[in-house]
């Protein structure tokens, strides 16, 4: 009895000291399933758009926390993905384009998967985590970082191997044009597993089964809904074309009247829809196809969740879902990303972690680069000391945590004479182009979530603009060769 008493006393005394360990059971490493989509905006049923069917992302959100105001560091695949995988801002990495230069410019950086590898985890990916030209680099390592992974897989589906069957609109109609930036679609009668993303899911399912007895960091990198918009026909059938609504172009044009020219400099030449000679009906078809590819990705997420359940790993696995940035689908007459507006900078992010909040949403502004310190924190790993994000644990414990006051900062870089930074707090988005010399934008999201009315020139907001500009300045760290001479 004395032995039992002292054992109980020891446990009672030592238990409070274990709070800093990883979520989950003591001395039991948590797995990480890291799921990404490409160019996915928040037009999802899980985010309130009831038209776009995402039951498996809803299932995931019920297991964890949905972040309603999550933002990328730059709305372009290459720098966004490099940033989140290093926990460093594009200015720190000196990466603002699609060039393959992560290790060239940052040879000693420790990436997220590399941190897990260094501390006893098996790290692997299937598909796109770092930047890949889509679809041109499907089946290759693209701009991948080999030091991040123990194993990596590059499946190829019919979306790549039979891409001559894809229908193209606008300036990209010619068969030899790059599909990586296109308004193009294909709806073959096919099985999910015939497509690249279906093969990505299959490989991760196999790895979950194979590695269930050891700690793992598995990354499933889906290529959809990035253009060209290709998915099995059954997903297109979820969205009858007559139900797809397009914004009124006359109203859209008015939305841009008070916007600094630099904010849409890449988009106005052939406005609307970026390419010449794209009709509203063709844009409607592309929007239908985009929604279809979202539901296709959602189905693959369901397969991954099923695999975790079948392996009895749900209580031992942190699941993260993210996209690299948002996407325009005709709003303001715009298409694609690479803009500082909300629809381009905001993207879905969901985290389900054992023992933390479930089926709740957080409205606090957060950033993709917060994922690295969050996973290090939750898994009890030693992270590099130079990370520029913050652990989301306080919001995973209390999604309304009033102590979370960090804004989200997104930047856009076109060339050394055209760039800007945008700060998002709980209520406002404030954007400066060329540090204000090329214009400013201010939007009140409490009354103007679509960012229609730019308040930057209104006298009553002068004091607020001064303060928001002051808050933004520490984030403007662009190196001299990226600024005007």
Say if 280 falls within a structural domain: yes
User: Do 297 and 224 meet the contact criterion of CB atoms below 8 Å apart?
Assistant: yes
pLDDT at 18 over 70: no
User: Looking at the 3D structure of the chain, how many domains does it have?
Assistant: 1
Measured from the Cβ of residue 380, the count of other Cβ atoms closer than 10 Å reads 15
Q: How confident is the model at residue 175 (pLDDT cuts 50, 70, 90)?
A: low
pLDDT category at 13 given cuts 50, 70, 90 is very low
Predicted confidence band at 28 (pLDDT cuts at 50, 70, 90)?
A: confident
Q: List, as one string, the DSSP characters of 420-440.
A: EEEEE-SSEEEEEETTTTT-E
Q: Is 449 part of a structural domain of the chain? A: no
Residue pLDDT, tens place only, 377-433? 999 999 999 999 999 999 999 999 999 999 999 999 999 999 999 999 999 999 999
Within-domain flag for 466: no
Give the residue numbers spanning the domain of 394: 27-401
In which order are the strands placed within the sheet that holds 418-424? 408-415, 418-424, 428-433, 440-444
Q: What is the number of helices (H) and of strands (E) in the chain?
A: 15, 19
**Does residue 454 lie within any of the structural domains?**
no
Which class for 250: exposed (0-12), middle (13-18), buried (19 or more C-beta within 10 A)? Answer: exposed
Position 291 in a domain: yes
Going by the DSSP 8-state scheme, the letter that residue 346 receives in this structure is: B
pLDDT in tens, 287-315: 999 999 999 999 999 999 999 999 999 99
Cα–Cα distance for residue pair 18/1, rounded to 1 Å: 26
Do the beta carbons of residue 56 and residue 248 sit within 8 Å? Answer: no
Annotated active-site residue 195? The verdict is no
**How many Å separate Cα 243 from the centre of its chain?**
27
The residue among 23 and 359 whose pLDDT is bigger is: 359
Is 166 in contact with 228 (CB distance < 8 Å)?
yes
In a domain, 19, yes or no: no
pLDDT at 4: 42
> Is residue 426 one of the residues assigned to a domain?
no
Q: What pLDDT is recorded for position 414?
A: 97
Domain containing residue 47: CATH number? 3.40.720.10
pLDDT tops 90 at residue 323: yes
Residue 476 lies in a domain: no
- Looking at every residue in the chain, the average pLDDT score rounds to 94
> Does residue 278 surpass a pLDDT of 90?
yes
Catalytic residue among 72, 77, 227, 379: 77
Whether 244 has a pLDDT exceeding 80, the answer reads: yes
Residue 77 is among the residues annotated as catalytic for this protein: yes
Angle at 277 between CA 275 and CA 280, to 5 degrees: 95
Tens digit of each residue's pLDDT (9 = 90 or more) over 107-158: 999 999 999 999 999 999 999 999 999 999 999 999 999 999 999 999 999 9
pLDDT tens-digit profile of 43-70? 999 999 999 999 999 999 999 999 999 9
> 42, 96, 131, 227: which one is catalytic?
131
């Amino acid at each position: 009895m004395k032995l039992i008493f002292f054992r109980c006393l020891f446990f009672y005394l030592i238990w409070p000291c274990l709070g800093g360990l990883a979520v989950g059971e003591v001395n039991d490493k948590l797995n990480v399933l890291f799921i990404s989509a490409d160019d996915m905006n928040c037009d999802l049923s899980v985010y309130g758009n009831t038209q776009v069917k995402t039951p498996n992302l809803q299932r995931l959100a019920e297991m964890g926390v949905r972040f309603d105001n999550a933002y990328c560091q730059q709305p372009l695949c290459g720098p966004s993905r490099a940033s989140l995988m290093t926990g460093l801002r594009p200015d720190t990495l000196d990466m603002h384009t699609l060039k393959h230069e992560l290790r060239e410019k940052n040879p000693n950086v420790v990436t997220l998967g590399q941190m897990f590898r260094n501390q006893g985890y098996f790290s692997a990916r299937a598909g796109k985590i770092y930047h890949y030209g889509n679809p041109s680099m499907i089946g290759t390592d693209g701009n991948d970082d080999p030091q991040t992974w123990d194993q990596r897989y590059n499946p190829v589906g019919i979306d790549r191997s039979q891409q001559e069957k894809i229908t193209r609109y606008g300036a990209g109609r010619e068969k030899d044009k790059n599909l990586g930036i296109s308004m193009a679609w294909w709806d073959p009668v096919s099985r999910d597993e015939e497509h690249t993303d279906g093969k990505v899911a299959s490989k991760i399912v196999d790895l979950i089964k194979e590695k269930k007895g050891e700690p793992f960091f598995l990354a499933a990198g889906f290529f959809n809904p990035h253009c060209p918009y290709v998915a099995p026909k059954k997903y297109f059938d979820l969205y009858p074309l007559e139900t797809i609504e397009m914004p009124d172009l006359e109203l859209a044009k008015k939305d841009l009247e008070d916007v600094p020219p630099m904010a849409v400099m890449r988009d106005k030449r052939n406005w609307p829809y970026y390419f010449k000679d794209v009709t509203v009906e063709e844009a409607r078809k592309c929007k239908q196809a985009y929604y279809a590819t979202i539901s296709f990705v959602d189905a693959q997420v369901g397969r991954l969740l099923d695999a975790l359940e079948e392996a009895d790993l749900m209580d031992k696995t942190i699941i993260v879902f993210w996209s690299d940035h948002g996407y325009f689908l005709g709003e303001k007459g715009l298409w694609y990303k690479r803009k500082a507006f909300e629809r381009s900078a905001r993207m879905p992010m969901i985290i389900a972690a054992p023992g933390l909040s479930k089926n709740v949403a957080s409205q606090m502004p957060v950033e993709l680069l917060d994922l690295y310190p969050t996973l290090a924190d939750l898994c009890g790993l030693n992270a590099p000391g130079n990370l520029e994000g913050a652990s989301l644990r306080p919001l995973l414990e209390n999604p309304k945590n009033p102590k979370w006051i960090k804004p989200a900062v997104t930047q856009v870089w076109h060339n050394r004479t055209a760039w800007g930074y945008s700060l998002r707090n709980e209520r406002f988005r404030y954007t400066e182009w060329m540090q204000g010399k090329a214009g400013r934008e201010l939007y009140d999201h409490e009354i103007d979530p679509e960012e229609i009315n730019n308040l930057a020139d209104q006298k009553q907001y002068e004091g607020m603009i001064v303060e928001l500009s002051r808050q933004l300045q520490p984030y403007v760290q662009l190196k001299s060769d990226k600024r005007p001479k």
